[in-house]
Amino acid sequence: MLPGLALPVGALALGTWFRAEVATGTLAMAWVSVVFAVRWMDGWQTGYAETATFGLSGQVTALVALLVAVAVLAMRRDQFQLMDSVR
């Protein structure tokens, strides 16, 4: 559950610097690359759900990423106020 929450919040945080498409695409590519890399390091012997990405270490990493993204959003919240004036 935590990676599923960390990815969109991370995309919002990156969206304060980059266009939304770039931020989302970058995070999606990074996530897919990490999942495949971890599975490759396991020798393709395990399924995706049994890899470290979905285990305790992956969940803790996703929690840390989520907390960092929330902190970035809190610090750069003024960037979203600027977007409101564009509409």
Q: Which residue has the tokens 């990405």?
A: 53
Q: What is the pTM of this model?
A: 0.75
Which pLDDT does position 70 carry in this prediction? 95
End-to-end CA distance of the chain: 33
Contact predicate 3/53, CB 8 Å: yes
Question: pLDDT digits over 22-78, tens only?
Answer: 989 999 999 889 888 888 887 887 777 777 777 888 889 899 999 999 999 999 888
